[in-house]
Amino acid sequence: MLDASIVTSTVEESLVPQVIRPVSAAWVWPAVLFVTGVLALVGAWLNPVHAKLWTLLPYTYIGNSLAPLPYDGAIVWLGSRAPLWQVVVIGVVGTVLVEYWNMELLRRILAREGTHGFRKHRLTRGMLLLFNRLPFLVLIGSCALPIIPHYPVRVLGVLARYPMWKYQLAVIIGRGARYIWLGLLGSLFRLSVWLLVVVSLMALGLGWRQARRMNAEGATT
């Protein structure tokens, strides 16, 4: 007879989310972002009248990458200084491009053996079960609403092996809606750039503090 502990261990291992590494080379998407970002900066230099819109593309790469930098304030600020449709289109295009790199990078990280404990953790599997109930709506909500952090939802999308085209469609809908209401906010209330910077940094600090608290609580359980 098989040892019950062996059977239990085998069943638990079968429940651990498995991540498949990307087939493309690791340099492909960073190269795409670098080249298009440089071209946008050249465009800003050649066309200083519309420099704000040109520089929005590379800033979108930074603000929507895995680096925790404030971005929403820039959309609010541009909403009162540039045509809203142009701000939304550039923001969405830039977000879609950087999300390809975000998801590939997360797949490479989460496919490593060192992340096995994280993938096996019951909290991770519990969140994944919740995500799989309504993944498309969860993705749209995390993209559109600032109260739902998108960083952990990206991770859940990778662990769930969610199709990339559906993920990007949710990004287009969610981020498009978010940039529209942020731009409208900027057009209705011409806010000071310094006020936006302070508010953005405060929101970033609160989010970072909450993430550290959750990580500490998870380590003690």
Q: How confident is the model at residue 9 (pLDDT cuts 50, 70, 90)?
A: very low
pLDDT of residue 22: 85
Summarize the confidence of residues 68-79 as an average pLDDT.
81
> Residue 214 above 50 pLDDT?
no
What pLDDT digit, counting tens, does each position of 86-139 carry? 999 999 999 999 999 999 999 999 988 888 888 888 888 899 999 999 999 999
Q: How confident is the model at residue 6 (pLDDT cuts 50, 70, 90)?
A: very low
Identify whether the C-beta of residue 148 lies closer than 8 Å to the C-beta of residue 137.
Answer: no
Does any domain span residue 162?
yes
List CB contacts of 71: < 8 A, sequence separation 6 or more: 59, 60, 62, 63, 64, 200
Does any domain span residue 50?
no
The residue segments making up the domain with residue 99 are 57-220
What pLDDT digit, counting tens, does each position of 40-51 carry? 999 999 999 999
Does any domain span residue 172?
yes
Does any domain span residue 40?
no
Structurally, how many domains does the chain consist of? 1
Does any domain span residue 147?
yes
